[in-house]
Amino acid sequence: MLANFTHLRTCSGYSFKYGTATADQLVERATEFGMSTLALTDRDNMAGAIRFVQACESAAIKPILGINLSFLQRKYRITLLATADGGLASLYQLLTAVNFAGGLLTHEILQENIVHTKKLLIMHGPDSQIGAAIGARQLTQGLSIFNSTKDYFAQQGIEVLSHRIRGDGPMSTPFAARMLTFARSNDLPAVITNAVRMLNRSDGPLADVLDSARNLVPLHKRHVERQNSEAYLKDTKAMHQLATEIAQAAGESTAHSLIKTTMQWAEMATLDPRRDVGIGKIHLPEPSVVGGKTQNDLTIQLKQRCEAGLGIKYFGEQSIVAANRLSDELATVRTLGYESYFLTVANITDLARSKSIRVAARGSGAGSLICYLLGISGVEPITHGLLMERFCSPLRNELPDIDIDVESARRLEIYDAVFEKYGRRVATVSMVETYRSRHAIRDVGAALGISPIEVDLIAKSLPHIRARNIAKALENLPELKNLKLDTPILRMAINLAQQLDGLPRHLSMHPCAIVLSDIGLRNHAPLEVNASGYPMVQFDKDDVEAVGFLKLDVLGVRMQSAIAYTISEIERIEGVQLDIDQISLADQKTFDLIASTRTLGVFQIESPGQRELIGKFAPSSFTDLIIDISLFRPGPVKSDMIRPFLSARHGLSNVKSIHPDLDSIMSETEGVVVFHEQVIRLISVMTGITLAQSDEKRRSLGTLDGQQEVCDWFYPAALAQGYQLDVVQEIWEILRAFASFGFCKAHAAAFALPTYQSAWLKTHHTAAFMAGVLTHDPGMYPKRLILDDARQWGIEIKGIDVNKSERTVTVEKVDVDQQVNKQRSYVAPDLNSTGRSLQLPDASGYALRISLADVGGISEREINSIIAARPFVDLADFVRRSGASITTTESLIIIGGFDQLHRIDQSHRVVNGSKGLNRRDLLLHLQDLYKLNGGQKVGESQLTLELLPPPLVAAGLPNLTAAELVQNEVSILGMEVTAHMLNFYGDFLNAVGAVKSSDVIKQRSGASVLIAGVKSALQTPPVRSGRRVMFLTIDDGHGCNDVTFFEDTQQSYAQLLRTSNIFLIRGAVRRTGPRGVSIRATQAWELSSAYNSWLAGNASDTDVSLNNGRNLTTMESKNA
Amino acid sequence: MFDKGIDSNRVLAPEGEPIEFIYQGHHFHIHAITSRWSESGGWWNRISDGNLHANDLLKIDDQARAVWRVEAAPVGALATFEIELDEVTGNWRIRPTSRAC
C-alpha cells in the first residue's frame, strides 16, 4: 500500500480561463482517491479558497492553500504555500500587497513583507526563472537566483514537474530530471507536483478553449499551449510512477526521497479549517472604533443609547413594555457579544443621516427594538408584533443580516464616508461571474474560428440561461431552428459551451455589499482594488459570512431618492420643512388614495397586480399595508391564501376560533397564517419553548425531513401542555401548510414604511411627489404614464424652456383659473364595501416643468453650461453662450424650448399659414447662425459670431401639426408633454368605435373590440410548448391593455409590433379571472397610418372595419 | 513501411508498459526505454478538414497517445523503435527509429 500522495499545486476554475474544474469537483476526486490532503493554488487570486476549504471540511480532506503568481517578470511563475503557523494571514497580506501594486510579485514587495514571507513556502518549478536558467544550462545562475530569495521564505524548494512532453524541454521528464539533479547537487529540497489544471484526462479540449479565450486567439497549432493531457488530478499510483520515472532519469534508484520531501511539505502547509482559515469565527470592529475601550464599555454605551431612544419614542404603559423588551434584547446581544455589531450599523446609519441621506433598514432587522431605538430601522416593532428572535438569536452562531436602503443617487457617498471612517476595517465584496449561455457560446465560437456574425446571432438569440441548458433551449425555441445549428462544427461548439457551464470567468464587485471587520481584516481575507477604485475582498458574500465579517448590504433605492427630492421640492415651493419619518401612520386620506388604486409611482403597490389587490383589500391601516405586501408574493398567490383572507376581512366568512390562547395570534390576519412571526408564536405558545427555540423549529419546517422531525416533537410537546389532540392537529396542519409560504413580517413592515410614506406624499404633495418620481424614475412605468397620471390629478405639464427648465423636474405654482389642463377624466371607483366616498387629492394650481435631463442626447456638460449661462435673450444668444451642441439645440427648438423666448404660440388651433413665428422658422434661423461661421457648419464646438446674425423672420413655413408635435416630444423626451398621444386621434377613435381600456372589462368574453394605445412593453417569453406568444402592453390614457398575439397572427404583425409605437388593434376579449381581462389580437395597424387612411377616405385600404359591420368609410361619411 | 502499425495484442505490456513485441514477423525484446512521452490535441484541425469523428459531437476525441521510445533486439540484434498506444482505440503502432532490422 502506497502512502497517499498530496498534490501541492492545483488550479481550479477560479484560475480564470485556465482551470477546467470546480474546487468541489477536485475535492471530490481527491476523496475518491483516498487522499488525505489537497492543495488549492489558483493563479493570481484566492477567490476559491473559502469554498475549497468548506468542501474539504465536509469531505474530511485537509486543505492546503497557496497561490500561483507571476514573479519578477510576467513570463515566470512561482507557487507559494501558506504554512500552518499563521501562514495564511501572511499569504493574504502578501497577495493584497501584490494586488495593490499591480499584480506582479517583485523583490521590493518581498522585502517590504518579509514578516509575512517568512511564513510561506515557495516552489520554483520549470516555469520559474530558475527553471529557465536550468533550461539554458546556466546552473550557476540558477543557484544565485535561488539564493537571492532564500532569506525571505520559511523554505524554498525546487518543484519537479513532468507532463511527459515530447523531447527534453520544460514539462518533459528529462527536464524534470535535470531540475531534480540541480536540487540534489546543491542540496536543495525537491518536491513533485503535477501542476493540475484539469479534473480528467479528457478535459483537454475544454482547456484549449479556455486558453484561447484567455489569450484571445483562435485555436491553431501556432498558439496552442497544451501539448498533451497530463495536467489532470492523477491518483497516488500514477504520481508515484511519474516520480519514479523522473527520479530514475536523474539517476536515483527510487522516488522515495522525492515523495518523502513532498509529503513533508504537505504536512508543513496543512491547515485547519477552523483554527487556521477561521471558518465560523467572528470579526467585528473593536470597541475603540465605536467609542469604547472595552467590551464592557460597549455594553454600557449600547444600553444608554437605547434607553435614550426609549425616552423619546415610548410613553406611559408602552414604555414599561418596551423597557422589558429592551432588557431581554440587550441580554441576548450581551450573550452573543454583538454590541459592536449594533453600534457599528447604527454608526453607519448616523453617518448617512449626518449627510442628510435618507436611509432605512430592510429585512428582519426591523424586528429588533434595539434597531428601532438606535434609528437603524424606522418601524416600531412592538405594536406591529415584530420579533427580535427572527433576526438575531443566541441559538444561531451567525451574525444577523441587516440590509439598509439608501437614496440610490447618493449611495457611493455612503461608501466614501464608511471607507473614510473605518479605513482598513472595511472593504467591498466580490462577486464571481460564471459562464452562462451567451458568454460560453461566444468564447467557444471565437476559439473554433466560427464567423463572429454567426456567433453573435446565436448568442443574442439565446435566453439568459445556464450554459449547460443550451441544447435544451435550442430544442424548445422555434426561432432558433432557422439558425441551422446542426452542422458538425456548431454541434461541437454547443457541446463545448455546455461544458463551460458554471466555470468562473471574472471577479467583479458585488453591487451593494460591504464588509466590516476588526483592524485585522487583511489577515482574514485577500484584497484587490476593483474597477471602481474601492478595496475589495476576493471573497464573495457567502465566503465573507463564513469567515465572520460584518456584512452590510447598502442598497440604492430610487424611491428613497424620489422621497428625498419630493421633500426638497416641498421646502422650495411651500417653505415647509417636512419630517417624513414623523408623519402619522393613520392618515385617512392616504388610505383613501390607496383604496382608489391610483397608486402609480407609489413604492411596492403600483403594479397592475398590486393595484387589483389593494382595490379588493382596501387597506385601512399600516398593519394592513404590511399584510398586503406579504400576501402579494408567488407563494400566497399560488396557494390561494388571499381569497380566504379577503372573504374573512370583508365579513363574508367568520374566523373560527381554534383555541382562545391562539386567538390573538390568528386574528391579526383573519385566521390565515401569513407571517413567520405568527408561526414562531404559535409554536412557542403551544409547547412552552422560548421564541428563539421556536424560530429554530420554524426554520426546520423548510425541509421535508425537518418537518417530520418537528412533527414528531410538536405533538407530544403540545399535548403535554394540555392542548387537546384536535387543536394540536389543526394547528399542525396550518404550520405544515403555511410555514413554507410565510413571510417575515419585519421585512414586510420595513417595506411598508416607504410604501406608506410615498402614498402619503402622493396624497398631500401630489405635484412634488410626481416631480420626484419623474426625476428619479423609481418604478416600473415609463415616464409618459407617470406624466399622464399627473395630468389626471389636475397638474399642468409645462414643456422645456431653456430659461426655466432645471436638471430635474420641478414644481411650479400656477393660477388655477388660467390653467390649461382642467379636464379630469378619471373618476374614483365606487367602494361598495364601505359605501363611503373617497377623499382624493386635488393638485390643480400646480405645474410640473420638464427637465433638461429629459432631452434625449443631452450631456451632463451641456446641462451645466446651459444653467450657468442663463438667462438667454434669444436663440442667437443661446447659440453663442450655452455651450450646447447644434443637435441638442435643434432638439430643444423642436420640443419648444424657445417658444417662450420667441413668443411662439403653439396652441393646436394655429392653422397653416399663420403669420407668427413658428419652430420651423427657428430651425432655419439656427442653420443661418451656424453658416455664419466661415460658411462652415460647426458641430459640437462653441461658436464665435463675428458677423451680425441674420434677422429672424417668419418665412411662412407651415407650423408643426399637432401629431408631429407629440411625435417629436415622444422621440426626444420619451414622453408627451402637450397631451396624451391618443388625444389627437380622439375623433378617429370615437368614429371607429374603439373601446377605452377602462371599459374593456365591461365587454362580454369573446366580444370583438377595437382598442388603441401606445406600446409600453413587448415581451416574447420562451414557452415550454415551443409555441411562441407575443405579449404587447399598450396604454391609452385610461389604463393599460394586455394583448396577446399567437403564432397565427404573429407572422403578419411581428415586424409592425417591433418597429411601431402606437397601435390600433382588433381582438377578442378573453376573461382571465374575475377582474382580469386580456385581448387576443386578430389584426393590428400602426395608428397614424390607419388615421391617415381614414382622413384620406380610403379606409378600405387599411381594412379597418367596425365592430358591428360598420366600416370607416360609412363612419366618415356620417361625420361629414 | 516506416509507419506500419501492428495489432495491439502483439505488444506485450502486462503492467501498461511495453516489454516485448512482434514487428514484421520478428519477435523483439525491449532492452531499455530511452524516453516516454504523451501527446494529444489537434482535435480542432478535424473541423476544418471536415473529418470529425462520430462521437466528437458527444465527447471530443482529444487523440491522446502515449509514446515509448525503446531499444529492442530481435534475437540478439539491437534496434530502436517507437511504440505508440492510441488510447482511444487501444491500437498500438510501432515505428523503428533506426534501420537496424
Tell me the pLDDT tens digit for each residue of A103-132. Answer: 899 999 999 999 999 999 999 999 999 999
More confident residue, A1037 or A805: A805
Confidence of residue A825 (pLDDT cuts 50, 70, 90): very low
| Percent of chain A with pLDDT strictly greater than 90 | 59
Any residues with CB less than 8 A from the CB of A373 and at least 6 apart, and which?
A305, A306, A308, A309, A310, A313, A326
**Model confidence pLDDT, tens digit, residues A485-507:** 777 788 888 889 989 988 999 99
**Amino acid A43: pLDDT:** 96
Res A358: pLDDT:
94
From B92's Cα to the closest Cα of chain A, the distance in A is 18
Question: Could you identify the residue written with the cell 455589531?
Answer: A341
- B84-93 average pLDDT score: 89
Q: Where are the alpha helices (DSSP H) in A575-672?
A: 588-595, 608-617, 622-631, 634-638, 642-649, 660-667
pLDDT of residue A418: 95
Q: What is the pLDDT of residues A516-575, one digit of tens each?
A: 999 999 999 999 998 889 999 999 999 999 999 999 999 999 999 999 999 999 999 999
pTM here? Answer: 0.81
Closest CA to A560 of A432, A700, A750: A750
Which of A20, A162, A164 should one mutate to test binding to chain B, selecting the residue with the greatest count of B CBs within 10 A?
A: A164
- The answer to whether the beta carbons of residues A103 and A291 sit under 8 Å apart is no
Residue A693, C-alpha cell as written in the block: 427555540
Q: For the segment A468-486, what is each residue's pLDDT rounded down to a tens digit?
A: 888 777 777 666 666 677 7
Sheet with A120-124, edge to edge strand ranges: A37-40, A62-71, A73-82, A120-124, A155-160, A190-192
Query: What's residue B2's pLDDT?
Result: 33
The average pLDDT across A779-786 equals 86
What is the rounded distance in angstroms from the CA atom of residue A892 to the CA atom of residue A802? 8
Amino acid at the residue A113: N
Residue of chain B minimizing CA distance to A231? B38
- Are the C-beta atoms of residues A1090 and A1064 closer than 8 Å to each other? yes
Residue A608 predicted with pLDDT over 60: yes
State which residue of chain B sits closest to A447, comparing Cα positions: B44
Q: What angle do CA A667, A668, A670 make, to 5 degrees?
A: 55
- Rounded CA-CA distance A150/A144 in Å is 10
Three-state DSSP class for residue A921:
helix
Q: For residue B34, give the chain A residue with the closest CA.
A: A249
pLDDT of amino acid A169: 93
Supply the pLDDT for residue A1034: 86
Higher pLDDT, A1035 or A778: A778
Which of B39, B43, B52 is the closest to A228 by Cβ? B39
CB contacts < 8 A, A to B, total 76
Contacts of A293 (CB under 8 A, 6+ apart): A287
Quick check: A946 and A908 in contact, CB under 8 A?
Answer: no
Q: Letter for the amino acid at A550? A: L
Using DSSP's 3-state secondary structure scheme, residue A824 falls into coil
Q: Which residues of A touch B57 (CB under 8 A)?
A: 488, 491-492, 495
Instruction: Give me A657's grid cell.
Output: 376560533
Contact A587, A781 (CB under 8 A): no
- Chain B residues in contact with A204 (beta carbon < 8 A): 40-41, 43, 62, 64
What's the confidence (pLDDT) of residue A344? Answer: 94
What DSSP character marks residue A916?
S
ipTM here: 0.74
Least confident residue range of A14-23, A126-135, A1005-1014, A1040-1049: A1040-1049
Q: What cell was used for A603?
A: 413604492
Of B38, B42, B44, the CB nearest to A164: B38
Q: Which residues of A touch B58 (CB under 8 A)?
A: 495
Minimum Cα–Cα distance from B46: chain A residue: A489
Interchain CB distance below 8 Å, A488 and B47: yes
Give the Å distances, CA to CA, from A563 to A404, A554, A622, A758. 16, 17, 18, 7
Strands (E) located in A148-257: 155-160, 190-192
Which amino acid is it at B5? G
User: Nearest by CB to A172, which of B37, B50, B66?
Assistant: B37
* Residue A524 near residue A549, CB atoms below 8 Å: yes
| Facing B62 at nearest CB: one of A204, A219, A220 | A204
**Residues on chain B bordering chain A, Cβ-to-Cβ distance under 8 angstroms:** 35-45, 47-48, 50, 52, 56-60, 62, 64, 66-67
- Contact A426/A515 with Cβ under 8 angstroms? yes
Interface test with A, best of B33, B35, B36, B37 (most A CBs within 10 A): B37
* Cβ(B78)–Cβ(B31) below 8 Å: yes
- Cell numbers describing residue A420: 473614510
- From chain A, the residues in CB contact with B59 under 8 A are 202, 495
In this prediction, residue B28 carries a pLDDT of 87
Q: Do residues A759 and A593 lie in contact, with contact meaning Cβ atoms separated by under 8 Å? A: yes
For position A823, what pLDDT does the model report? 46
- DSSP assigned state of A743: B
B64: nearest CB among A228, A449, A496: A228
Considering only residues A6 and A401, tell me which one the structure prediction assigns the higher pLDDT: A6
pLDDT, average across residues A940-953: 58
For residue A1006, the tally of other CB atoms under 10 A from its CB is 10
Looking at the partner chain, which of A164, A205, A449 has a beta carbon nearest the beta carbon of B37?
A: A164
Distance in angstroms (rounded) separating the CA atoms of residues A817 and A598? 25
What pLDDT is stored for residue A929 in this prediction?
85
Distances (CA, A) of A1011 to A338, A1015, A1044, A1068: 61, 12, 13, 10
CB B40 within 8 A of CB B64: yes
Which of A475-484, A648-657, A862-871, A1052-1061 is predicted least confidently?
Answer: A475-484
B19 min Cα distance to partner chain A (Å): 16
Query: Per the structure block, which three cell numbers stand in for A154?
Result: 520559511
Q: How far apart are CA B92 and CA B90, in angstroms?
A: 7
CB within 8 Å: B62 and A221: no
Alpha carbons A582 and A580: distance in angstroms, whole number: 5
Angle subtended at Cα A1002 by Cα A997 and Cα A1006, rounded to the nearest 5 degrees: 95
Cβ atoms of B92 and B7 within 8 Å: the answer is yes
Q: Cβ–Cβ of B37/A219 closer than 8 Å?
A: no
| Residue, of A1102 and A1090, whose pLDDT is higher | A1090
- ω into A871 cis (within 30 of 0): yes
Rounded to the nearest integer, the mean pLDDT of chain A is: 87
Please report, rounded to a whole number, the percentage of residues in chain A having pLDDT higher than 70.
91
Q: Do the chains contact at B52 and A488, CB–CB below 8 Å? A: yes
Identify the residue whose cell numbers are 503492467: B15
> Mutating which of A228, A470, A474, A500 best tests the B interface, going by the most B Cβ atoms within 10 A?
A228
pLDDT by residue (tens digit) across A895-910? 999 988 888 875 544 4
Amino acid A459: pLDDT: 84
Nearest residue to A1037 via CA among A982, A971, A974: A982
Contacting residues of B for A488, CB less than 8 Å apart? 47, 50, 52, 56-57
CA distance A232 to A209: 16
Q: Is the dihedral of CA A158, A161, A166, A170 positive or negative?
A: negative
- B36, B47, B67 ranked by CB distance to A489: nearest: B47
Query: What is the residue type of A717?
Result: A
Q: What is residue A682's three-state secondary structure?
A: helix
> Could you tell me the pLDDT band of residue A304, with boundaries at 50, 70 and 90?
very high
Residue in B35, B41, B52 nearest the CB of A228: B41
- Is residue A716 over pLDDT 90? yes
When mean pLDDT is compared over A69-83, A1006-1020, A1029-1043, the highest value belongs to A69-83
User: And the C-alpha cell for A112?
Assistant: 517590504
Q: Which residues in chain A are closer than 8 Å to B62, comparing Cβ atoms? A: 202, 204-205, 229
CA distance A67 to A45: 7
A737: part of which helix (H) or strand (E)? helix A725-738
Residue A834, pLDDT above cutoff 80: no
* The predicted structure's pLDDT at residue A379: 93
The domains located in chain A, with CATH, are: 23-269 (3.20.20.140), 287-432+509-558 (no CATH), 436-501 (1.10.10), 583-760 (no CATH), 782-971 (no CATH), 986-1119 (2.40.50.140)
Quick one: pLDDT at residue A1060? Answer: 84
**Residue A977: its pLDDT value, please?**
80
Those residues with Cβ within 8 angstroms of residue A848's Cβ, 6 or more apart along the chain or in another chain: A767, A770, A771, A774, A787, A790, A795, A796, A797, A798, A809, A810, A811, A812
Sign of CA dihedral A105, A111, A112, A113: positive
Mean pLDDT of all residues in A127-155: 95
pLDDT, residue A175, reads: 97
CB A164 within 8 A of CB B37: yes
Helices A256-269 and A236-249 meet at what angle, rounded to 10? 130
For residue A988 the three cell numbers come to 378617429
Q: CB–CB of A164 and B42 under 8 A?
A: no
Closest CA to A235 of A510, A31, A72: A31
β-strands A426-434, A402-407: how paired?
A: unpaired
Q: What is the dihedral of CA A965, A966, A967, A968, to 10 degrees?
A: 60
Place A1072 in a pLDDT band, splitting at 50, 70 and 90: low
Residue B4, pLDDT > 70, answer no
Phi-psi group of A583: left, alpha or beta (phi > 0 → left; psi -120 to 50 → alpha; rest → beta): beta
The angle subtended at Cα A980 by Cα A975 and Cα A982, nearest 5°, is 120
Q: Which of A104-108, A374-378, A822-826 has the lowest mean pLDDT?
A: A822-826
Q: Are A608 and A1040 spatial neighbours (Cβ–Cβ below 8 Å)?
A: yes
Tell me which amino acid residue A222 is.
R
**If you average pLDDT over each of A71-75, A354-358, A917-921, which comes out highest?**
A354-358
Q: Which residue type sits at A852?
A: L
Strand partners, A1033: A1017, A1042
